């Protein structure tokens, strides 16, 4: 807390808060719980369109899929805990977002895990990587929610740190929606699930500060302990309870523990709450009121129900062998009162906990983007090097550890442009996440837009029309003027890109203070997007038949700043890709039309590694080779062959198709050129007849699958 | 129409889709919480998941639950009993099937589509397959490495193979002896398998090869 905030609280209260009150206020006024530095700017984001049932403001967003199906979606970060204790940190991150979806009344049906680390050469980073993946796997697999995708990225700036984000979607009938706030007094507050321990004490305050070099020793107690077994029981019991229609409000206990869940539930519509903290089942002896009120022990839910329904609902908890306790009740007076036995240990106006004044930090723009000369190296060498980059390599080592099939909905599996889940016999839901801190560092505004448009391009590549977005904003300290500026630029980029597609953000998360040892992370917005696809239209990136033509959609520019080529060459500057929303929209609409008319057999979005890697991936996944002439690629100005191959310009796709559809495709796209054909078992790039690159698909596959070797396996 | 109980232990997580697959195969099916009775059922399915979070050993605690006594009775009466993944682990722990499932040769969870060769079409669950037929379905387990001291007592039903039905080391995902993916009891009415047939019972999900396991089971239960 800042001195001016403490003064404000003293004045409001007319006295000093006691120790319990102070701890609760500290938790609720933390950046992580209050969004005090971000709230003002988040209001710029569009939150409404024809699909939105419930936008930001509760535990997760809700969109309409069809008349009988609502999709609930949310995204969370667990960066600080994962950097200190990767296994528990990542696992509890999964548990937390799953409960956010659950407490809206929906069954969680899929997870995405965008995760980022420092370079794999260092042991500490390998340790973080391996245990974050294991934490996600052990938790997600045990609760039976498939992890169907995500991203894995490595960057020098994340040395000894990690960004662990997790998105989750759930499914329900629109009538089953349960809100996270009450609209009447007299309701009982029932706490269900795990006992409360001393784990995660001050978890949100810890997540609202920079990590010191010794964080591993100092902050372990702020990390929660995962228990997926109880979570699975909690999922089934909660859904059964919701089905009765008698759950009046529901929240999970996450950051800020019981204090946050109960005060938000009561205070949102102006009610108050009395909490009997000593009744809370405790895991450890001699816990005090403060510890019970702010512990972030996992796998706990708070139900608001009428007295007369207590028996019916709690019978369900007992069936699943879950401990339950009436820990408090809703009152008319807008106060938040806590008892410990007979002693009143806290008595606050409830809005002192739930209405935290915003903070605006100083802003200072920076400029690091400047044109550089691309070094001349042999295209063959560059190709092999970029293909071998851990950022390009297949993430099979990761997703094989995730049960991505459980629940029997996964139509498109991990490793493709987007995952698709079967929702009914006709339609599927596509789900994907994208972030690119390298672009965002060079140009926060355009970088943020690339996250949005790449996610939408990924949806379009599988044939899905976008429905909705969620955002997770991972930044360093907002108290750094450059960081705060980049944050605001990011929001503006997210806003403009979404508006161009008439899309809304229905939920999101902000994580500030991502720094270790005074080293800030790059601006890292991560966007997850949902789309709707007719099952019979689903398209994949693998080449289908020899003789099919290959074309590139979109224009290639000298935009290699933040590219994978520049990264492996150690070039920090350069011009980052810019987003032309109009072209982006036209090309995406064109792809969706081409898929609907069944004109294309394979579609792949061009992103990291540029055209060269996009083509290589299409070949490696299918086993079929190709021959292309890159001098035919539409370019904006004169580019060297290396730049054409590895530029990461936006609004581009590669498609393969039968010759007879060429004219129809030309009619759809303005920037479109046939560059070659699917052919043989080799990847061959030529330029005006000169051969630049020739690598067999078999050799490419070997390299593409070499991530385990980098981990010493 | 025969009616099947899909038993749900705390931590079971493949119950819903298993019920769906049985229904699609023409049977009736209900999720049955492990404290309820198995009376009035014509067959039992122990679905996949992490019953009791795999504490102690995968399947060890569930195998000692009271309901398993009823399962044993039904098995003795010749009713079909199918264990998938964690269900297979429970069946070996309950000694309804011989042998044990050890940690995978690379000791971590592995989720992957594999090919299987059908070795035995005489069981209650394989009547619709042809001898030597090669089928495709996913595995998802950390402990699926089958072993038995005395293989002469093991009736092999499914073996991991390549897409042409060759049984070799490259096609063995977890280190199982003789590439064993599924076995039955001597009578052929109790079957355990690590791959998930319920995840291969819908063309949109990659294969319908698994549906025949349930169709065979439904057909057998009609007799």
Confidence of residue A206 (pLDDT cuts 50, 70, 90): confident
ipTM of the complex: 0.96
Chosen from A141, A228, A405, A708 to mutate, greatest number of chain B CBs within 10 A:
A405
3-state SS class at A373 = coil
B111–chain A Cβ distance below 8 A for any pair: yes
Q: Look up A78 and say whether it is catalytic.
A: yes
| Contacting A residues, span 294-353, partner chain B, CB-CB under 8 Å | 319-321
* pLDDT value, residue A213: 72
Q: Look up B85 and say whether it is catalytic.
A: yes
Mean pLDDT of chain A: 96
Residue A219 pLDDT greater than 80, yes or no: no
Confidence of residue A212 (pLDDT cuts 50, 70, 90): confident
Distance from the Cα of B58 to chain A's closest Cα (Å) equals: 12
Residue A571 pLDDT greater than 90, yes or no: yes
Among the residues of A197-339, which ranges form H helices? 203-206, 215-218, 228-243, 257-267, 289-294, 310-319
A150–chain B Cβ distance below 8 A for any pair: no
Of A134, A142, A428, the CB nearest to B50: A142
Nearest-Cα residue of chain B relative to residue A408 = B199
* pLDDT value, residue B196: 98
A140–chain B Cβ distance below 8 A for any pair: no
Nearest to A405 by CA among A99, A102, A110: A110
Nearest to A17 by CA among A267, A313, A353: A353
How confident is the model over B167-183, as pLDDT tens digits?
A: 999 999 999 999 999 99
* pLDDT value, residue A205: 76
Query: Could you give the percent of chain A with pLDDT greater than 90?
Result: 94
Residue A684 pLDDT greater than 80, yes or no: yes
* pLDDT value, residue A698: 98
Cβ contact, residue pair A404, B111, below 8 Å: yes
Cβ contact, residue pair B108, A134, below 8 Å: yes
User: A183: Cβ–Cβ under 8 A, 6 or more apart, which residues?
Assistant: A248, A269
B204–chain A Cβ distance below 8 A for any pair: yes
Residue A339 pLDDT greater than 90, yes or no: yes
How confident is the model over A587-602, as pLDDT tens digits?
A: 999 999 999 999 999 9
A/B interface, count of CB pairs below 8 Å? 84
The pLDDT of A43-67, averaged and rounded, is: 97
Q: Would strands A672-678 and A549-553 be described as parallel, antiparallel, or unpaired?
A: antiparallel
Distance from the Cα of A342 to chain B's closest Cα (Å) equals: 38
Confidence of residue A217 (pLDDT cuts 50, 70, 90): low
How confident is the model over A82-127, as pLDDT tens digits?
A: 999 999 999 999 999 999 999 999 999 999 999 999 999 999 999 9
Q: Residues, chain B, total?
A: 223
Q: From the candidates B14, B17, B85, B143, which is the catalytic residue?
A: B85
Distance from the Cα of A39 to chain B's closest Cα (Å) equals: 39
Mean pLDDT of chain B: 97
Q: Would strands A653-657 and A602-605 be described as parallel, antiparallel, or unpaired?
A: antiparallel
- Cα separations (Å) of A634 from A589, A611, A641, A675, B67? 19, 12, 12, 10, 68
B109–chain A Cβ distance below 8 A for any pair: yes
Chosen from B32, B36, B48, B50 to mutate, greatest number of chain A CBs within 10 A:
B50
The pLDDT of A43-64, averaged and rounded, is: 97
Of A319, A401, A405, the CB nearest to B109: A401
Query: Could you give the percent of chain A with pLDDT greater than 70?
Result: 99
Q: Strand runs (DSSP E) across B109-216, as ranges?
A: 110-118, 134-141, 145-147, 155-161, 180-184, 190-193
The pLDDT of A349-376, averaged and rounded, is: 96
pTM of the complete model: 0.96
Contact between A81 and A224 under an 8 Å Cβ cutoff? The reply is: yes
User: B208: Cβ–Cβ under 8 A, 6 or more apart, which residues?
Assistant: B200, B201, B202
Within 10 Å of residue A367's Cβ, how many Cβ atoms?
7
In eight-state DSSP terms, residue A512 is: -
B56–chain A Cβ distance below 8 A for any pair: no
Nearest-Cα residue of chain B relative to residue A321 = B10
B9–chain A Cβ distance below 8 A for any pair: no
Phi, psi of A399 (to 5 degrees): -80, -15
Of B21, B52, B140, the CB nearest to A403: B140
Distance from the Cα of A265 to chain B's closest Cα (Å) equals: 29
* pLDDT value, residue A163: 98
Residue A215 pLDDT greater than 80, yes or no: no
Helices first, then strands: H and E counts in chain A: 26, 28
Stated as kind and residue range, the H or E segment containing A696 is strand A690-696
The pLDDT of A177-199, averaged and rounded, is: 96
How confident is the model over A614-662, as pLDDT tens digits?
A: 999 999 999 999 999 999 999 998 899 999 999 999 999 999 999 999 9
Q: How far apart are CA A23 and CA A328, in angstroms?
A: 19
Cβ contact, residue pair A137, B109, below 8 Å: yes
| Residue-wise DSSP of A570-637 | T---SPPP---HHHHHHHHHHHHHHHHTT--SEEEE--TTHHHHHHHHHHHHHS--EEEEGGGS-BSS
User: A320: Cβ–Cβ under 8 A, 6 or more apart, which residues?
Assistant: A233, A234, A236, A237, B10
């Amino acid at each position: 807390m800042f001195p001016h905030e403490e003064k404000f609280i003293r004045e409001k209260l007319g006295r000093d808060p006691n120790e319990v009150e102070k701890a609760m206020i500290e938790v609720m006024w933390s950046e992580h719980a209050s969004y005090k530095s971000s709230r003002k700017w988040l209001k710029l984001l569009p939150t409404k369109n024809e699909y939105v049932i419930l936008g930001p403001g509760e535990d997760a967003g809700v969109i309409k899929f069809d008349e009988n199906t609502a999709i609930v979606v949310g995204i969370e970060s667990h960066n600080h805990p994962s950097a200190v204790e990767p296994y528990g940190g990542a696992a509890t991150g999964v548990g937390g977002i799953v409960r956010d979806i659950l407490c809206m009344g929906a069954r969680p049906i899929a997870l995405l895990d965008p995760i980022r680390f420092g370079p794999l050469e260092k042991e500490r980073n390998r340790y973080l990587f391996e245990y974050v993946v294991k934490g996600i796997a052990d938790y997600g697999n045990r609760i039976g929610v498939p992890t169907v995708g995500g991203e894995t990225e490595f960057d020098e700036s994340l040395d000894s740190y990690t960004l662990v984000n997790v998105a989750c979607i759930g499914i329900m009938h629109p009538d089953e929606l349960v809100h996270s706030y009450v609209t009447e007094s007299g309701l009982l507050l029932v706490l269900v699930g795990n006992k409360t321990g001393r784990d995660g004490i001050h978890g949100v305050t810890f997540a609202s500060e920079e990590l010191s070099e010794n964080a591993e020793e100092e902050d372990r107690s702020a990390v929660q302990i995962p228990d997926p077994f109880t979570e699975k029981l909690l999922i089934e019991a909660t859904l059964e309870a919701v089905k009765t229609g008698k759950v009046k409000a529901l929240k999970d206990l996450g950051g800020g523990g019981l204090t946050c869940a109960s005060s938000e539930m009561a205070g949102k519509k102006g009610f108050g709450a009395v909490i009997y903290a000593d009744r809370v089942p405790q895991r450890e002896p001699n816990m005090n009121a403060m510890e019970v009120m702010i512990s972030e022990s996992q796998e706990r839910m708070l139900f608001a129900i009428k007295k007369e329904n207590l028996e019916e609902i709690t019978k369900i908890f007992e069936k699943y062998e879950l401990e339950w306790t009436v820990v408090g009740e809703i009152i008319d007076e807008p106060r938040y009162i806590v008892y410990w036995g007979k002693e009143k240990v806290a008595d606050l106006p409830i809005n002192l906990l739930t209405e935290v004044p915003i903070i605006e930090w100083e802003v200072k723009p920076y400029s690091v983007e400047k044109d550089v000369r691309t070094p001349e190296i042999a295209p063959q060498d560059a190709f092999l090097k970029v293909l071998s980059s851990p950022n390009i390599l297949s993430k099979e080592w990761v997703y094989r550890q995730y049960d991505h099939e459980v629940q029997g909905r996964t139509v498109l599996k991990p490793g493709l442009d987007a995952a698709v889940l079967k929702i009914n016999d006709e339609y599927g839901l596509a789900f994907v996440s994208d972030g690119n801190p390298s672009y965002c560092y060079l140009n926060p505004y355009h970088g943020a837009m690339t996250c949005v448009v790449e996610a939408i391009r990924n949806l379009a590549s599988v044939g899905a029309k976008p429905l909705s977005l969620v955002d997770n904003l991972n930044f360093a300290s907002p108290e750094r003027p450059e960081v705060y500026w980049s944050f605001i630029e990011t929001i503006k980029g997210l806003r403009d890109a979404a508006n161009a597609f008439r899309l809304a953000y229905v939920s999101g998360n902000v994580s500030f203070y991502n720094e270790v040892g005074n080293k800030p992370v790059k601006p890292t917005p991560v966007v997850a997007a949902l789309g709707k696809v007719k099952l019979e239209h689903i398209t994949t990136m693998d080449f289908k038949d020899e003789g099919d033509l290959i074309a590139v959609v979109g224009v290639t520019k000298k935009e290699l700043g933040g590219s994978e080529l520049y990264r492996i060459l150690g070039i920090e500057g350069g011009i980052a890709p810019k987003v032309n929303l109009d072209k982006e929209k036209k090309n995406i609409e064109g792809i969706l039309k081409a898929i609907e008319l069944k004109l294309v057999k394979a579609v792949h979005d061009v992103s990291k590694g540029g055209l060269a890697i996009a083509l290589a991936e299409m070949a490696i996944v299918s086993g079929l080779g190709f021959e292309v002439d890159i001098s035919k690629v539409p370019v904006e100005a004169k580019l060297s062959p290396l730049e054409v191959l590895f530029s990461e310009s936006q609004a581009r796709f590669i498609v393969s198709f039968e010759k007879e559809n060429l004219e129809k495709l030309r009619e759809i796209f303005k920037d479109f050129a046939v560059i070659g054909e699917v052919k043989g078992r080799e990847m061959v790039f030529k330029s005006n007849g000169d051969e630049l690159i020739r690598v067999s698909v078999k050799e490419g596959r070997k390299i593409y699958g070499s991530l385990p070797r980098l981990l010493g396996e | 129409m025969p009616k099947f109980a899909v038993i749900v232990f705390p931590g079971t997580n493949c119950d819903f889709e298993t019920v769906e697959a049985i229904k699609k195969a023409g049977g009736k099916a209900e999720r049955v919480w492990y404290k309820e009775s198995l009376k009035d059922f014509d067959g039992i399915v122990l679905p996949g998941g992490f019953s009791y979070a795999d504490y102690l050993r995968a399947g060890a605690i569930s195998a000692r639950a009271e309901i398993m006594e009823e399962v044993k009775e039904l098995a003795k009466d010749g009713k079909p009993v199918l264990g998938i993944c964690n269900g297979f682990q429970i069946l070996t722990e309950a000694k309804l099937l011989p042998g044990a499932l050890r940690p995978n040769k690379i000791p971590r969870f592995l989720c992957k589509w594999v090919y299987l060769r059908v070795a035995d079409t005489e069981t209650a669950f394989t009547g619709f397959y042809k001898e030597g037929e090669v089928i495709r379905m996913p595995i998802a387990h950390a402990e699926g490495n089958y072993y038995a001291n005395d293989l002469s007592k093991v009736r092999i039903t499914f073996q991991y193979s390549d897409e042409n039905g060759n049984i070799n080391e490259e096609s063995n995902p977890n280190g199982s002896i003789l590439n064993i993916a599924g076995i039955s009891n001597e009578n052929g009415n109790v079957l355990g398998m690590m791959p998930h047939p319920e995840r291969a019972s819908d063309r949109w999900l990659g294969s319908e090869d698994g549906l025949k396991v349930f169709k065979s089971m439904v057909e057998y239960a009609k007799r």
